[in-house]
Amino acid sequence: MTWPESVWSAAPLRPLDARARAEIEAAGALRSFARGERVFRAGQPADAFFIVAEGRVGVRAVRRGEVETTVLREIAEGESFGEEGSLRPGGTRHLEASALTESRVAEIPLTVFRRALARGAGSAELVLRQERALRRTATRDVLRTLAFARHVDARELDTLLDAIEHVDLARGELLFREGEAATHVYFVADGMLQIQTEDDGKIRVRAYVVRGDALGDEELATGAPRTVSAVASGAAWVLAIPRAAFLAFARSRPGLLDAVRRVAEEREDAQHAAAGGMLTTRHVFKDLYRLQVARSLLVIDEGSCVRCGHCAWSCAASHDDGVSRLVRRGDKILTRATTGDDPLLVPSSCQHCDNPACMPDCPTGAVGRDPRGEVFIREDLCTGCGNCAKGCPWDNIQMAPRRAGGDVAERAPGRTKDVAVKCDLCKGRSGGPACVASCPTGAIARVNPAEALPEVGAALGVRPGSLLPRASAAWPAVVGAVPVAIALTLHRATTRASYVWSGGVAAALLVALAGYAVVKRAIRPRLRGWLIAHYALGIAAVGAVIAHAGAHVPPNVAGALQLAFWGAAASGVFGAVVYRVLPTRLSRVERKGALPEDLPERQRELDERTFVELTGKSEVLKTVWARILRPYAHSPLGPAALLASGRSLGDEQRHLRARIERVLGGRGESKLHGLDGLVRLAVERRSLPLQRALQAALRAWTPLHIALTAIALVLLVVHAWLATRYR
């Protein structure tokens, strides 16, 4: 169908020739919408803009400081909307659009439009002018989402648009520095900036500003120097309005600056409350940007995680190349979304960002994003250059050997033998992500942090959604299995028929228990339910064995079978107990997520950091280290004392600091600069042997349990054969 003339008469498309129009018609789409039907929603990729061919469309957004969506503008026939993609390539939409009447809308991919415009316009100046027009329209929509926009009419908005300067920032780039002159007021159009100060060489985070926030207005009226620095937490786009222009505008609107500051103060108050509520490590709170851009963040409840490694193993087994897209290392965060004081671990795994840092530097377009926002890598387009792996700020992409074999680079010029791999959310797998399904304790989840973590939502000014999913409780099945076991025990075998019956039940239960290992390795279902069933079957099996064999252990194969069964049962009970008790204790003495093989290197790192911390320090501090902190850190019984105390590392640091203050009695305080850092290192050094011991306890019983179960199965076959032969 040929597009109607109302589309081609729209300002962005007027310069196009017939060839360019044909290209756009072939790549685009003319779509029909019923009244109230959504054209696009917030969070979708902003890779196209639209022109109304018939009807009317409303563009909506939640303005800063409000909770309900507001119609920012109505688009009539021949007008464009959805130009957000012209502002930041690879970005996502923050607005939504829906049909106000029955409408037909032309969807125009931005890449095709730019290519057709460049070829058909015949003038580089005209191309730039069209790009500026799209950007101006998109900027107007952004301004309408700001808190002060409700007080501004269309004419005044145009005046501001004429004065606006666009500032694009890369991750870590300064917008302004503490002490500089205040030359502009800034509004965040996209991304996040960190507001910080520097105190004695240490950076202190004061707040974060996100889309819709104003910053830098405090010093405008007085012309005082900046009291803080503003740094981009990730790629950011900022609207800068010169001081003179904004003050002239503010004078015509009394109370405007007060309104802007009130919204900023409310945001800062919410963030301060959130920071205290999350009790985050400093590193995680400094990287709040990560929690803002993540669409699907993998989190592990450390109070439930038994460090079995099934998540990483199942991830590797679910991909043809056998490479896990998940590494159980990362930072921790405390949140009210979990029970008790157990932290969440944020392991290394792709989080499918709203604005993926891995996409822009891919030279072949191998990194893509589907309509749901899931980021993927097309292996056939990947050259193995590694740009995406370098671009990811959180090291969630790795290079792995290509499945096609070692001669790929020779057969496909420009490609290396490696290819970029990352989490693909197990696309096509019916059970969802394998790491989530295979966790026996239900400790793993994929979440949107702003919705699942209430403190993050408060810090970002987002309305809270659902909390973390809860794992199925095991106790109902365990309690239900106890009466079954008791009932079996009461039916003691006294006749040949009852021996055969009870023996058959016991054998069937033992085989079913052993089948759990096959299920979790070969079938890989949602494992939590199977583990609960394993617990229940184990309790029932105890009753069946007692009913069949009683308490007597004969000196033959039957007796050996009993001993193997009771050994397997005892080790299983031990495993269930340590699974319930130890994860919480271990999580409290870990600074960050670490694998067992990381601990020796961590010990060396702590010793080296201690040497650096002591270098050039006062003799008083060195004496405190030699007489108090070093003996504390290296005490043979120190780990046991830490375990018995029940304190977390943070609690232990405060306890040790108070002890030092009591010993010093206020002497030499002026010469104790750096003490807090040494206390932190000493506490973590004491905790390492305890971490090793607890991790070993979580794993050590499993080989014994498996071995005894295997022995019991072999003896069961022999026992059944002998019983059948000599009956």
Of the two residues 275 and 110, the one the predictor is more confident about is 110
Helix (H) or strand (E) holding 344: strand 344-348
Residues 487 and 345 in one domain: no
Counting beta carbons within 10 angstroms of the beta carbon of residue 59, is it exposed (0 to 12), middle (13 to 18) or buried (19 or more)? Answer: buried
Distances (CA, A) of 180 to 184, 388, 452: 11, 35, 39
- Percent of the chain whose pLDDT exceeds 90: 29
Average pLDDT over residues 62-91: 80
Phi, psi of 323 (to 5 degrees): -100, 125
| CA distance linking residue 604 with residue 338, whole number of Å | 33
The verdict on 129 and 206 lying in the same domain is: no
> Going by C-beta distance under 8 Å and a sequence separation of 6 or more, which residues neighbour residue 381?
364, 365, 366
For the chain, the distance separating the N- and C-terminal CA atoms, rounded to the nearest angstrom, is 85
What CATH number does the domain containing 110 carry?
2.60.120.10
Other residues' Cβ atoms within 10 Å of the Cβ of residue 30:
17
Q: 416 in a domain, yes or no?
A: yes
Of 524 and 332, the one with more pLDDT: 332
Q: Which residue has the tokens 């108090």?
A: 628
The answer to whether the beta carbons of residues 288 and 335 sit under 8 Å apart is no
Residue 498's pLDDT is 82
Of 121, 145, 169, the last residue of a domain is 145
Give 496 or 174, the one with higher predicted confidence: 174
Q: With bands split at pLDDT 50, 70 and 90, how would you rate the model's confidence at 412?
A: very low
pLDDT of 404:
60
Tell me the mean pLDDT in the region 456-480: 76
Q: What is the C-alpha to C-alpha distance for residues 724 and 700, in angstroms, rounded to an integer?
A: 37
Q: Kind and range of the H or E element at 48?
A: strand 48-54
The answer on 415 and 309 residing in a single domain is: yes
> Which of 94, 115, 145 is the C-terminal boundary of a domain?
145
CATH number of the domain within which 298 lies: 3.30.70.20
DSSP strand pairing (103-109 vs 29-33)? antiparallel
* Mean pLDDT for the stretch of residues 378-395: 88
pLDDT of residue 124: 67
Distance CA 166, CA 134 (A): 14
Structural domain of residue 86, as residue ranges?
Answer: 5-145
408 pLDDT exceeds 50? no
Whether the predicted pLDDT of 411 surpasses 50: no
For 157-217, the DSSP string reads: HHHHHHH-EEEEE-TT-EEE-TTS---EEEEEEESEEEEEEEETTEEEEEEEEETT-EES-
Is residue 40 a part of any domain in this protein? yes
For residues 306 and 360, state if they share a domain.
yes
Co-location of 567 and 606 in the same domain: no
What count of residues does the chain have? 727
Residue 660 is assigned to a structural domain of this protein: yes
pLDDT in tens, 10-58: 988 888 888 888 888 988 999 999 999 999 988 788 888 999 999 999 9
In this predicted structure, what is the pLDDT of residue 281? 42
pLDDT in tens, 331-369: 888 777 666 566 888 898 999 987 788 887 888 888 888
Higher pLDDT, 564 or 210: 564
Q: Which of 88-92, 96-100, 239-243, 607-611 has the lowest mean pLDDT?
A: 88-92
Mean pLDDT, the chain, integer: 83
Same domain, 581 and 601: no
Q: Are residues 563 and 436 in the same domain?
A: no
- Among 607, 557, 563, which Cα is nearest to 720's? 557
**What average pLDDT score do residues 298-318 get?**
89
Q: How far apart are CA 328 and CA 309, in angstroms?
A: 8
In a domain, 470, yes or no: no
Q: What is the pLDDT of residue 631?
A: 94
579 and 486 in one domain? yes
> Which of the two residues, 356 and 146, has the higher pLDDT score?
356
pLDDT band per the 50, 70, 90 thresholds, residue 277: very low
151 inside domain: no
Same domain for 47 and 77: yes
- Report whether pLDDT(126) > 80: no
What pLDDT shows up at residue 227? Answer: 85
Calculate mean pLDDT across residues 429-454: 86
Same domain, 427 and 314: yes
Query: Do 580 and 711 sit in the same domain of this protein?
Result: yes
Q: For 333-474, where are the alpha helices, taking DSSP H only? A: 387-391, 408-411, 434-437, 449-452, 454-460
Q: Is 183 exposed, middle or buried (0-12, 13-18, 19+ CB in 10 A)?
A: middle
pLDDT at 672: 82
User: Based on the structure, what is the number of domains in the chain?
Assistant: 5
pLDDT value of residue 432: 82
- The answer to whether residues 683 and 651 touch, using CB atoms and an 8 Å cutoff, is no
**pLDDT on residue 540:** 93
Euclidean distance between CA atoms 355 and 373, whole angstroms: 10
pLDDT tier for residue 461 given thresholds of 50, 70 and 90 = low
- Per-residue model confidence as pLDDT tens digits over 576-592: 999 999 999 998 898 88
Give the C-alpha separation, 492 to 61, whole Å.
Answer: 72
pLDDT tier for residue 409 given thresholds of 50, 70 and 90: very low
In this prediction, residues 485-511 reach a mean pLDDT of 86
Query: Quick check: 378 pLDDT over 80?
Result: yes
CB of 532 closer than 8 Å to CB of 439 = no
pLDDT of residue 284: 47
In a domain, 467, yes or no: no
Averaged pLDDT, 71-76: 90
